[in-house]
Every structure is written in structure tokens, then in C-alpha cells.
């Protein structure tokens, strides 16, 4: 009795109840928009959507913390894209828990989605990282602030005392 059908980029179909989408996600059209039975194509893999769509329903949530980092990153991006609020919060918490080992990915994620608290926490762990390594992956709007921070750290380290 689901009323909207999504298809992953690798061909898996998901029959979802629109009411659940309305209460748990802001990135899908409201129920006033009828899909007329059409299948809605999504750009994400089924491995991502399998986890993401579990957050749509009032059921026990998946243990995303035990997922491989690349799956976590994909689910986190999809959660942000489709505004699946319960998943956004859980993904952010789990991503933050990966500090300091995963500081560069955390910094990139935080910058892309405007999580200033997470930007600051992860930046602290990146101070010794070579500049080209950081600027090759961070969002463009963070490059200048990062270069300024890097150059001030460089000057502090190498300035005569």
C-alpha cells in the first residue's frame, strides 16, 4: 500500500509511504504532488538507500556506527540531500566520533554542510597536515580561511623566538 516508488541508480526499487516521507524528510515533494505511478529515479546506490530509508519509518534505527566509513559518508550525504532529519543527526554524531583519525573527511563534511562546531573540532586535528592535502578536498569557500590558518601556524612555528 506504499504510494511512491523510488529506484536506486543500480536498479533496486523502494516502495515508500508518502506520509512517512512527510514526517521524517523535507527533501521530497509533499503528498499534494502525485507521481502518477511513475518511478522516481535517485542517484544513490541501493547500499545507501537501504540504510537511509530505514530512518523514514518509526522502527528501530540501523546501527550506522558499524558501517564502513565510505557507506557512512554516502548515507550522510544522502541524508543531507533529502533532508532525512533522523539520519542527519545520527550520521553527524557518528562522523564526529571518528575524530581524530578521520579529521580531513570530518572537516570536509562539516564545511560542506555548515557545521561550524564540527569544523572547529576537526580543524584542530589537521594543523600538521600538508596544505595541498587539505585544500585538494575541502569546499572552495574554506580554502582561503584554511590557507590563512595554515600560514599563521607556519609563521608561529618558524618565527625566531
The tens place of each residue's pLDDT in the chain, 161 residues long, gives 888 999 999 999 999 999 999 999 988 866 666 667 789 999 999 999 999 999 999 999 999 999 998 999 999 999 999 999 999 999 999 999 999 999 999 999 999 999 989 998 998 898 888 888 888 888 888 888 888 877 776 555 555 55
Is residue 100 reached through a cis peptide bond, with omega within 30 degrees of 0 on the bond before it? yes
Q: What is the pLDDT of residue 161?
A: 54
Tracing cell 557545521 back to the chain, one arrives at 115
8 neighbors 46 (Cβ within 8 angstroms): yes
Q: What is the pLDDT of residue 160?
A: 56
Q: Which three cell numbers stand for residue 57?
A: 519509518
| Phi, psi at 51, each rounded to 5° | -80, -45
- The domain segmentation of the chain, as residue ranges, is 1-97, 100-161
Q: What is the per-residue burial (b if ≥16 Cβ within 10 Å, else e) of 20-58?
A: bbeebbeebeeeeeeeeeeeeebebebbbbbbbbbbbee
Please tell me the CATH superfamily of domain 1-97, with its number.
Potassium Channel Kv1.1; Chain A (3.30.710.10)
* Geometric angle at alpha carbon 113, from 108 and 60, rounded to 5°: 105
Q: What is the pTM of this model?
A: 0.84
Q: What is the pLDDT of residue 32?
A: 65
91 neighbors 61 (Cβ within 8 angstroms): no
Q: What is the pLDDT of residue 157?
A: 53
Amino acid at each position: 500500500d506504499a504510494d511512491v516508488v523510488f529506484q536506486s541508480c543500480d536498479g533496486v526499487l523502494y516502495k515508500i509511504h508518502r506520509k512517512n516521507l512527510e514526517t521524517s524528510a523535507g527533501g521530497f515533494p509533499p503528498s499534494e504532488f502525485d507521481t502518477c505511478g511513475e518511478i522516481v529515479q535517485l542517484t544513490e546506490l541501493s547500499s545507501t538507500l537501504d540504510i537511509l530509508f530505514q530512518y523514514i519509518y518509526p522502527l528501530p534505527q540501523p546501527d550506522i556506527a558499524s558501517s564502513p566509513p565510505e557507506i557512512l559518508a554516502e548515507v550522510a550525504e544522502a541524508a543531507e540531500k533529502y533532508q532525512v532529519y533522523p539520519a542527519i543527526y545520527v550520521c553527524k554524531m557518528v562522523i564526529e566520533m571518528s575524530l581524530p583519525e578521520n579529521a580531513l573527511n570530518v572537516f570536509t563534511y562539516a564545511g560542506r554542510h555548515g557545521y561550524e562546531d564540527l569544523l572547529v573540532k576537526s580543524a584542530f586535528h589537521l594543523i600538521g597536515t600538508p596544505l595541498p592535502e587539505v585544500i585538494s578536498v575541502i569546499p572552495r569557500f574554506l580554502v582561503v580561511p584554511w590557507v590563512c590558518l595554515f600560514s599563521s601556524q607556519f609563521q608561529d612555528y618558524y618565527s625566531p623566538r
